[in-house]
Structure 1
């Protein structure tokens, strides 16, 4: 006799009672049990957590396990942050300025600066030609703003220049050859060619940036849920306050684009996804900020951050950073 569908889909009443008790305890418990609730539910639902994450948790040192649940929970959060930074690599370091207590991004040095400078000059000239004629581009166009950031802010930052130029190249290619939003005339094609050559030049002279691009190409991004978008909105001003001006400026530009709901839906009905440039910058940097803070970095502790914002969210600064890490891992399908 075949088993009843109800028996296949439901646990025995006694077993279900145990499960309900466990989840009831974990739901009311503090953060140290959050991971284990998710881990257990994953097995019950037939959707176990990412195996690499589980492997790293299993390899936590005995001394940490023996210290207690809170120490284990903190180590698990550190593991998550490290995994996120590995999945979204950037050729830069995030460090805490000891004088200000704020985070800053330190890019790798430009290799072969003469060649890179020449590539950026070609982009600048091509952009000037496009803006000077009837080519469909204006100073307010998104691609133009991105190119201007490369030519000014990112001209000595190979990683961010490559991320942004790659995004612009893809967008221009689509506008010229697919949607035909822009005429495929000589000026526009010259701009696309200059941007593509700039990308190739950066990758050729910076192997670390090229390797990061290969890894990013393997990532499959998911759509952000409404709760995640709302948390990112609330996190933005806090991340800005915790950062040096240049890093804060990136958060100011990147987070609104990351959570932008105004993008038109894709032709196949799938939700629009943010570009790899903003995704990488936001989540890679926050993950590194969390690791630095966990290691004992004393971050800026202004009254504004502590009372008006973090208290409103019910977070410490480290809690907030880890909450954004969680969003990044969900975005990549790890959680």
Structure 2
């Protein structure tokens, strides 16, 4: 059986086919629905050559990642600034959610007192403070953050014993878990998202992918505004740290699921929106967004390697691989 050495070098128009072949030879083929979409690319595009096919495959992959990492929010492009932002879906039963947030805040204050071991500088505390102060109207963000905190608290109380199993700490854990469950009960689409997240085969990011993500951070920051930019500034360093810092047990770490969902869901939608722009005004995209990318890439090594908007395409590939799709 021939090895993979006969394949064209990975990258460029052959990137997808190299990954497709490697997965097939490993007995772990790409998802059938993704392969089907590629197979159904119109003949007119196939006849234009490998570059045109690769461009169409990149669009298909971005849309596929957007569906795989679906969140209850909308990513939009501001035509005046050429930057992207996110808008959360409206809260259902806002009084109930407000009461749950207040209950969790009270439990947090109690747990920070006495001999419970919880400190203001701990990640779980910082996350809850930020969620309560800034994202009380964003159901998807509350669910993501509460779930992340619940996982952290359970591990620190019951596995590593970094936190004492006190009444206050257990009450905080219960309040966070109940809050996440309440959000899912009020928002069926968020419950579906969580089930999808739980089913993901999250994989470790290799060193090359981490370097791309780290180098792309200034680009994503320049292309986004408001909450989206602030999240990129927090989530990307956190992903890099999670993937490179050993856990206390010495077990190999995986990137944080919820940070990954935020980063790669938003990147995929940026790519989807970019792909639609030529039909709605390429001159706007060229004059606004491309200028922003060039400024962000000034002095960045990826400029010559990936060439502007292709960075977003490369990040989509990393996201698909991270979530077990490629």
Instruction: Give the TM-score taking structure 1 as reference length.
Output: 0.86
Structure 1 position 228 matched with structure 2 position 209: yes
Q: In structure 2, what is the equivalent of residue 330 of structure 1? A: 321
Structure 2 unaligned spans of 5+:
none
2:143 is matched with which residue?
Answer: 162
Measured against aligned partners, the alpha-carbon deviations of 1:244-281 in whole angstroms (never above 9, x if no partner) come to 131111011111111115533474x6411122210100
Q: Which residue of 1 aligns with 2:230?
A: 249
Task: Indicate how the Cα distance of structure 1 residues 64 and 153 shifts in structure 2: closer, same or farther if over 3 A, else same.
Answer: farther
Whole-angstrom CA distance in 2 between matches of 1:116 and 1:47: 42
The 3-state SS of whatever aligns with 1:132 is coil
Task: List 4+ stretches of structure 1 deviating above 6 A.
Answer: none
Alignment match, 2:308: 317
Q: Decide whether the 8 Å contact of 2:97 with 2:182 is kept in 1.
A: yes
Aligned with 1:93: secondary structure?
strand
Secondary structure of the residue that 1:96 maps to in structure 2? strand
Which of 105, 127, 130 is residue 149 of structure 1 equivalent to?
Answer: 130
Give the TM-score normalised by structure 2: 0.89
Distance (whole Å) between structure 2 residues aligned to residue 45 and residue 142 of structure 1: 39
Match of 1:61 in 2: 42
- Distance, in Å, in 1 between the alignment partners of 2:172 and 2:112 is 11
Further displaced range: 38-47 or 273-282: 38-47
Question: How far, CA to CA, are the matches of 2:181 and 2:161 in structure 1?
Answer: 25
Q: Residue 95 of structure 1 aligns to a residue in which SS?
A: strand
Instruction: Pick which of 303-312 and 241-250 moved more.
Output: 303-312
Structure 1: give runs of 5+ residues left out of the alignment. Answer: 1-9
The partner residue of 2:299 within 294, 300, 308 is 308
Distance 1:281 1:330 in 2: 15
3-state secondary structure, aligned to 1:317: coil
Secondary structure, counterpart of 1:105 in structure 2: strand
Q: How many residues are treated as equivalent by the alignment? A: 315
1:77 is displaced (CA, Å) by 0.5
Structure 2 residue aligned with 1:216, among 165, 180, 197?
Answer: 197
Query: SS at the partner of 2:268?
Result: helix
> Residue 107 of structure 1 contacts residue 157 of structure 1 at CA under 8 Å; is this kept in 2?
yes
Work out which of the two has the higher radius of gyration on C-alpha atoms and give 1 or 2. 1
Q: Distance in 2 between matches of 1:301 and 1:310?
A: 17
Secondary structure of the residue aligned to 2:202 is coil
SS in 1 for 2:306: coil
What RMSD over aligned residues (CA atoms) do the two structures have, in Å?
Answer: 2.3
Deviation per CA, 1:274-303: give whole Å up to 9, x if none: 222101001111111111111117226235
